[in-house]
Amino acid sequence: AQSVSQHNHHVILSEAASLELGCNYSYGGTVNLFWYVQYPGQHLQLLLKYFSGDPLVKGIKGFEAEFIKSKFSFNLRKPSVQWSDTAEYYCAVTTNAGNMLTFGGGTRLMVKP
C-alpha cells in the first residue's frame, strides 16, 4: 500500500520568504500526486495536481510543485509567501491500484506579517 510522508510538521516564515515543503511517497508503480490546502476555518481544497508530462506543475496562488521520480518526491514551493498563505498543507497520492487518496500528515504553515 502507498504512504506519504511530510517531514515538516510546522513551518514559520515571514512574509516574502520563500517556501518549500517536502513530500515523499512510497509506491513502486505509477502515481498521481496532489497538494491540498486547508485555510483556517475552511474546507480542504485542491491546490495543484500532477498526472503526467512536465514534472513541474503550477497551481493556484503562485504555488508550484516538482515531481522527482527518482526521489519519490513532490515538493511544494512558492517564491514569496504572503500572510494569507497561513494554512495546513497536505500532500496526497493515488495509484492505479485503488480509489483512495492517501494523505500525508500535513504541514502547518504560519506566515508572520
Partner 1 sequence: DTGVSQDPRHKITKRGQNVTFRCDPISEHNRLYWYRQTLGQGPEFLTYFQNEAQLEKSRLLSDRFSAERPKGSFSTLEIQRTEQGDSAMYLCARGQGTNTGELFFGEGSRLTVL
3-state class (DSSP) for residue 102 = strand
* Min dist. Cβ of residue 83 to partner 1 (A): 23
Q: Does 52 bind partner 1 (CB under 8 A)?
A: no
Site for partner 1 in 16-35 (CB under 8 A): 32, 34
Query: Which of the 8 DSSP states describes residue 104?
Result: -
Please state, in angstroms and rounded to a whole number, the distance separating the CA atoms of residues 22 and 76. Answer: 7
49 scored as a contact of partner 1 (CB under 8 A): yes
- Of 4, 11, 3, 7, nearest to 88 by C-alpha is 11
Q: Site residues (CB under 8 A) for partner 1?
A: 4, 6, 32, 34, 42-46, 49, 51, 90, 92-94, 98-106
